[in-house]
Chains A and B, each alone.
Chain A
Amino acid sequence: MVSKTTSNHKTVGVIGAGSFGTAIANILAEKNHVILYVRTKERAEEIKATGKSADQELNPNIEISNDLETIGNRCEVIFPIIPSANFRSMIKDLSPFLKPYHILIHGTKGFDINVSRSKINSRNKLSREHIRTMSEVILEETSVVRVGCLAGPNLAKEISQHKPAATVVASRFEEVIKTGQSLLKSDRFLIYGSQDLIGIELCGILKNIIAVGAGTVAGLELGENSRSLFISRGLVEMVHIGKALGGNAQAFLGLAGVGDLIATSTSGLSRNYTVGYRLAKGESIGHIIESMEEVAEGVKTIEIIHELAQTYQVRCPITETLFRIIKEEMTVDDAHKYLMKFPFRAEIEIPD
């Protein structure tokens, strides 16, 4: 059954009560009734008791649930915002309660690998057909077709402090963009639309690599010139990789590309940036990951892109060096020296 609420007071679902999920739930709750899904019962009870999730006060319009069936049955529009590593299994669990009338707008910035690692070898290299963006996972696992994503400079903490920001809702469907706009828009939250769903998803995913790297530059205290050098080289690398994966360059120049890149590469509020920063300060990657409350998608993305770059023979020195750092084949210091010697032929080449 479709919920009988009027269009002014819809019930909207958010899946995942991490910092970004909670921030989005709070924005949605300003105008709508929201059901926020939390995976475990214990955590749900805890949030209910404290009225707080991920250090953010919850709007009273938010109802906590740990039942996916409730979300599917009562919400026509759902925002899944959970780590990419758990995304497919969650969608599989949700799928029985989804119908083609549902609209899903996800906010997850990572890849899914749909092949078992043991099947990947030198004869069967990791390629685009083995990796999926989250929208592709939704299309594969459910009967939902009206799918979109959220991307942009949206540091959860700043949003929760009611500071002004903007985001991009991308979908091939105008309808999804409009729905996202009407649900999220407020006088301190601007919503742009884009039809380039894959391009925008790639922006959000790839910028995490550069954010990790920018964190190392900051950790080494190399100064602002270095940081800017790194970010702009990083953008070029993002475009190259993005093109190899079937995106187009335009998306990278927008809010979800360069906009998000600047925010995450300059702010200690970004998890990926923090990973890089702590690496540069000499901590081991294992220790950093263990001590973080939430997943830094960048680490997994570095590994995937490193492998894909070899398959497609795309040169991406930043990703390669970061890969060697997290595999502890290289120190951050050496990596920085190596990159300074790297022979870039042209300052910028964006192939059409």
Chain B
Amino acid sequence: MRKQKTRYSEIIPRKKQWPIVQLARDRKSFIQEVANESFDTLKSLNSKKSLREELETTIHREKLRVKNNPWRVDPKDDKKFWQEMQSRLAESQNLAPDKVKAEEEAILKTILDRYCEEIAGNFKKTSYRFTKTIVTFGFARLLNAARGVKGIRSLFSRQLDLDDKIHVKGEPEHIRSLAKKGTVVMVPTHFSNLDSILIGWVIQHLGLPAFIYGAGLNLFNLKIFAYFMNSLGAYKVDRRKRNPIYLEALKTYSSLAIRRGCHSLFFPGGTRSRSGQIEKALKLGLLGTTIEAQRILYENETPEEPAGKIFIVPVVINYHFTLEAPALINDHLRRTGQERYYRERDEFTTSYKISSFLFKFFTKGSDISVSIGRGLDILGNYVDQEGNSLDSSGKIIDPRDYFRRNGSITVDEQREEEYVRILGKRIVTEFHKYNRVFASHLVAFTAFKYIERKNPKLDLYSLLRLPEEDLVIDYEDFKKAYKKLKKKILKLHKKGEVDVAGHMLEKSDISIELGISNVGMYHARRPLIKKGDKIIIQSMSTLYYYHNRMDGYGLENHI
């Protein structure tokens, strides 16, 4: 039996009117605008370093990067460019004192121009349509082929569709309504490289216009991925470049695009969660651009043209398993352990790896759910269907007032830093609320905590090195602990502090079985298996990874 599916119409059917299309049309002038604005901001910043020092460190670091960590996607003249900048800066010292500053600023502008050109996306309406077809049609066909709809007919079967596999939960109608009323900034949790594709699918599934989105530059190393990314409205984020000049350009790009009404997507945790935990500390930099953008919109509004409003929409992605889990958790352990130095690597190297990754995901992977949270304003207040901000008592408030002092809108950096902190906290709370507990998460949590309880004296690293014979749990004991935790989670669910998958309401025996058969199901070593009346842990580190998902609910007191 097929269940009734929800189909969403496009909220703006004419793509010409999409802000992202308009942005792409005057790409050149937009890039100039970004470069100019970053230039002005950098000049007005009163940092401890002088501009010369800033340029010197940046050029030095960039030269090191070119030498030590080159990527295929880097421009061919990278080395030449930075050498040129270096000699220009060195020569400028011989100029007349009144000309030195002008030359330093000219160098800054040249670097900014280059960065902005590199960051800027290359959205094409036509390839968007094509990619969209590939993603929805192609993968759906793949799905059918793999799920045993036999023969050539499988390619045309509509028996299985992506939305059989990806469940959109939460408040999809709300985000659709907000996207018509203002600019949406989607902030999802981030566990897997697949998330961006997944979110891309969700966005078009919900009938929303394309979002712009900052994608790791490493993904552009592959031509095919670069094509996909560009057509999904991606701009490039190079994590190797951490100098203030680059970061300013990046922030300005995001801020300006939002001000122009482009719906945006960013992963506020920065990179994928290494530990498997839901993000707790968010990267406040990019989040801050939303607050800044909103304030600037208010500053520039006129009675005839009121400012657009920015809505933050948290999204939680839930999988039974993360393909990269073993690599991620190893990274995490290495980082939290002794090794301090960590180099940003490009682990997504070959087309083969990616296609086998995708194939596994779309064919074998178990269900995925994407929960769309309720929209928030730039201070984390809920907004209603019309986009009005509400305070905790449900009274409508005007977000302009957050920026007002003595009746007019004022700029105060320290104030906005505090606001970002408040917003970040609110997003984390919403993440926990919309997180859907799967049986697989809970079996992992139960098993790990059980072992931890049995060895109270051991620290994490010793626990992870326990010998095999200590990694066996009696099924009945396990079930007892599981039941207790399940009860607690259902209680939290009732209070609205967490969401649960439908299968969590089944009897414990059934959900345990489902959990065990799904947790990390395609890893070379599955973390947890059941043998007779024993539960056997095969990999403590991946178990630890999946267990982390349930962190932050105070469950550890209930085992």
Give chain A's interface residues, CB within 8 Å of chain B.
2-4, 7, 10, 76, 95-96, 99-101, 140-143, 145-146, 172-175
Contacts and interface: CB of A to CB of B under 8 A. Distances in A.
Contacts of B399: 100
B346 interface: no
Contact of B397 (A4, A99, A140): A99
A7 B406 contact: yes
Interface string B418-438: 110010000000000000000
Contacts of A141: 392
A143 B402 CA distance: 9
A100 B414 contact: no
Given A140-B392, A142-B391, A175 B412 contact: yes
Most buried by B among A95, A96, A101, A142: A101
Interface string B260-292: 000000000000000000000000000000000
8 contacts: A4-B407, A100-B398, A100-B404, A101-B401, A101-B405, A145-B379, A145-B419, A145-B422
A213 B391 CA distance: 42
Contacts of A7: 406
B406 A143 contact: no
Given A100-B402, A175-B405, A143 B395 contact: yes
A122 to B, nearest CB: 15
A100 B397 contact: yes
A76 B410 CA distance: 15
Nearest to B409: A101
Contacts of A2: 404, 406-407
Contacts of B398: 99-100
A174 B404 CA distance: 15
Contacts of A99: 397-398, 401
A172 B395 CA distance: 25
Contacts of B418: 145, 172-173
Contacts of A174: 412, 414-415
A125 B278 CA distance: 29
Contacts of A96: 395
Interface string B378-393: 0101000000000111
A10 B406 CA distance: 9
Q: Which of A10, A142, A145 has the most CB of B within 10 A?
A: A145
A173 B414 contact: yes
Interface of B: 379, 381, 391-393, 395, 397-399, 401-402, 404-407, 412, 414-415, 418-419, 422
A101 B404 contact: yes
A141 B391 CA distance: 9
Given A2-B406, A174-B412, 17 more contacts: A4-B407, A10-B406, A96-B395, A99-B397, A100-B398, A100-B399, A100-B401, A101-B401, A141-B392, A145-B379, A145-B402, A145-B418, A172-B418, A173-B414, A173-B415, A174-B414, A175-B415
B401 A76 contact: no
B405 A143 contact: no
A18 B98 CA distance: 63
B290 to A, nearest CB: 16
A2 to B, nearest CB: 4
A99 B379 CA distance: 14
A175 B407 CA distance: 15
Given A99-B401, A142-B391, A76 B406 contact: yes
A34 B393 CA distance: 29
A101 B402 contact: yes
- 9 closest A-B pairs by beta carbon, nearest first, are A2-B407, A100-B401, A143-B391, A101-B404, A101-B401, A174-B414, A100-B402, A99-B401, A143-B397
A136 B419 CA distance: 16
A145 B412 CA distance: 14
A142 B379 CA distance: 14
A46 B418 CA distance: 43
B393 A95 contact: yes
A2 B397 CA distance: 14
Nearest to A7: B406
B255 to A, nearest CB: 22
B558 to A, nearest CB: 13
A119 to B, nearest CB: 15
Nearest to A102: B401
Contacts of B422: 145
A91 B395 CA distance: 15
A7 B406 CA distance: 7
Chain A CB within 10 Å — which of B379, B398, B402, B419 has the most?
Answer: B402
Nearest to B379: A145
B20 to A, nearest CB: 31
Contacts of A142: 391
Most buried by B among A96, A141, A143: A143
Contacts of A3: 407
Among A76, A100, A145, A175, the one with the most B-chain Cβ atoms within 10 Å of its Cβ is: A100
Contacts of B419: 145
Nearest to B410: A175
Contacts of A175: 405, 412, 414-415
B554 to A, nearest CB: 11
B299 to A, nearest CB: 15
B318 to A, nearest CB: 28
A95 B401 CA distance: 15
Nearest to A177: B414
A323 to B, nearest CB: 28
A173 B381 CA distance: 19
Contacts of B397: 99-100, 143
A61 B381 CA distance: 38
Nearest to A3: B407
Contacts of A4: 407
B403 to A, nearest CB: 8
A7 B410 CA distance: 14
Contacts of A146: 415
Nearest to A92: B393
A7 B392 CA distance: 31
A172 B416 CA distance: 11
A141 B379 CA distance: 16
A45 B160 CA distance: 78
Contacts of B392: 140-141, 143
A3 B398 CA distance: 17
Contacts of A173: 414-415, 418
A220 B395 CA distance: 55
A146 B412 CA distance: 12
A145 B392 CA distance: 12
A4 B406 CA distance: 8
Contacts of B404: 2, 100-101
A36 B276 CA distance: 54
Contacts of B415: 146, 173-175
Nearest to B421: A172
A3 B404 CA distance: 12
B524 to A, nearest CB: 43
Nearest to A176: B415
B495 to A, nearest CB: 14
Contacts of A100: 379, 397-399, 401-402, 404
A45 to B, nearest CB: 32
A226 to B, nearest CB: 44
A141 B402 CA distance: 16
A109 B338 CA distance: 45
